[in-house]
């Protein structure tokens, strides 16, 4: 495989990042590469998603998925291939994921070291917009009924050449909450004549933040972070309204359910205590990402074969970050692996302005994904 050529391909994507559901240039490059490689190609699924198919006789249908979108943030790597688009940056390495999956397609098309069908799934809008859900809703697995799917993500916290994959929950669910308190405006010097929504919001932020520690089983990791509070316009007026917003993450459906109920219960109790009204919006976004046991065993074997027997980092704990590959895993058995990319020059975490995908990961990812396909089910 021509690693240098694929590294330049990746750097071109990096210079031309595109946000979720707007990955038109990226999609066109993916489709052109898949056709050159000899895949049949389906475009326009979930707007900018692309699916390539490679057949080698009878056998299982195995899906491999990469995400395509960039983040709305400004790059500070100082690399020669720095983003040319203001405020848009491949800060999560999806430029690298696209490249790894295309290089895998090229490798498998050349070696034919598999039986059956490989489906290369290029998914738009992973960064909070649920492109994975839209692909499933638009019939991805009806048209490509995969027996198994694999997903992957680079991980700067793990050294290059290592990997982490576990059976069961691997990434958290992700929900958004917004609680609005409706009171009565008044003079700040006469709070008894007003009904203060600001103090209610402040109390609620404290109570919500500590609810996981007292309501959820300590063995079931979860977190509730209040990340914004808004209300008021000046120092001497109690406003009529204040709101807070935040996010809930959990590694089990039970913990998620408890916290959803707690948000409403606590907000209403605090509103009553302050004599104000409240309205709660709880938006369920991504489910828990759960690795299926047999697919996980297969992916572990593939990673061990490709990276060496000591490459699997079994002390790596599941992340409370979310990943919309969870929607695909809810529809089709499979597993998701983190591939280490950390070295002396790639230590910045994803979503950091100094982050860059490590091109040395490309051949390693190709070997892991190809081994996973080659061994069948």
Contact residues: Zn ion, CB under 5 A? 92
Shortest reach from residue 162's CB to Zn ion, in Å: 18
CA separation for the pair 346, 340 (Å, rounded): 10
CB of 92 or CB of 332, closer to Zn ion: 92
| CA distance linking residue 286 with residue 92, whole number of Å | 18
CA 314, 318, 321, 322 torsion-angle sign:
positive
State the nearest-atom distance from the C-beta of 218 to Zn ion, in Å.
28
Nearer to Zn ion, 92 or 199 (CB): 92
**CB closer to Zn ion out of 133 and 274:** 133
Shortest gap between Cβ of 154 and Zn ion (angstroms)? 8
Q: Closer CB to Zn ion, residue 68 or residue 373?
A: 68
Query: Rounded to whole angstroms, how far apart are CA atoms 232 and 186?
Result: 11
Q: Which is nearer to Zn ion, 92 or 216 (CB)?
A: 92
CB 152 within 8 A of CB 95: no
CB of 63 to Zn ion, least distance (A): 18
- Provide the minimum distance between the beta carbon of 91 and Zn ion in the complex, in angstroms, as a whole number: 7
Cβ neighbours for 256, distance < 8 A, ≥ 6 positions apart? 173, 175, 222, 248, 250, 288
Q: How far is the CB of 67 from Zn ion (least distance, A)?
A: 6
* Residue 210 CA: distances (Å) to CA of 201, 206, 288: 14, 7, 21
Residue in the shown chain whose Cβ atom is closest to Zn ion:
92
C-alpha distance from residue 182 to each of 149, 177, 178, 194, 367 (Å): 47, 16, 13, 11, 57
What Å distances lie between residue 257 and 53, 133, 172, 212, CA to CA? 38, 20, 13, 11
């Amino acid at each position: 495989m021509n690693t240098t050529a694929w590294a330049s391909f990746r750097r071109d994507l990096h210079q031309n990042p595109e946000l979720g559901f707007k990955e038109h240039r990226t999609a066109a490059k993916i489709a052109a590469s898949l056709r050159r490689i000899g895949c049949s190609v389906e475009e326009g699924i979930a707007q900018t998603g692309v699916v390539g198919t490679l057949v080698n006789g009878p056998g299982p249908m195995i899906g491999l998925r990469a995400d395509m979108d960039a983040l709305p943030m400004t790059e500070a790597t100082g690399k020669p291939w720095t983003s040319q688009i203001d405020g848009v940056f491949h800060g999560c390495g999806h430029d690298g994921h696209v490249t790894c999956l295309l290089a895998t397609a090229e490798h498998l098309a050349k070696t034919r070291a598999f039986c059956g069908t490989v489906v290369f799934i290029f998914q738009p809008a992973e960064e909070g917009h649920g492109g994975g859900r839209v692909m499933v809703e638009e019939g991805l697995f009806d048209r490509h009924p995969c027996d198994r799917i694999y997903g992957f993500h680079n991980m700067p916290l793990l050294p290059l050449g290592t990997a982490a994959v576990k059976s069961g929950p691997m990434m958290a669910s992700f929900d958004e909450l917004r609680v609005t308190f409706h009171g009565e405006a008044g003079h700040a010097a006469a709070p008894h004549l007003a009904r203060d929504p600001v103090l209610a919001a402040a109390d609620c932020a404290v109570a919500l933040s500590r609810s996981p520690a007292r309501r959820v089983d300590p063995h079931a990791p979860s977190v509730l972070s209040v990340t914004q509070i808004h209300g008021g316009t000046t120092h001497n007026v109690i406003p009529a309204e204040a709101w807070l917003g935040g996010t809930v993450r959990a590694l089990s459906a039970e913990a998620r359910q408890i916290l959803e109920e707690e948000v409403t219960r606590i907000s209403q109790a605090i509103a009553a205590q302050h004599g104000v009204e409240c309205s709660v919006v709880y938006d369920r976004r991504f489910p828990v990402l759960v690795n299926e046991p047999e697919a996980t065993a297969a992916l572990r074997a593939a990673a061990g074969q490709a990276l060496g027997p000591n490459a699997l980092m079994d002390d790596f704990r599941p992340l409370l970050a979310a990943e919309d590959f969870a929607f695909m895993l809810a529809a089709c058995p499979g597993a998701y692996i983190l591939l280490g990319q950390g070295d002396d020059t790639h230590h910045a975490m994803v979503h950091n302005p100094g982050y860059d995908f490590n091109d040395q990961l490309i051949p390693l990812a190709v070997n892991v994904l190809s081994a996973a396909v080659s061994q069948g089910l």
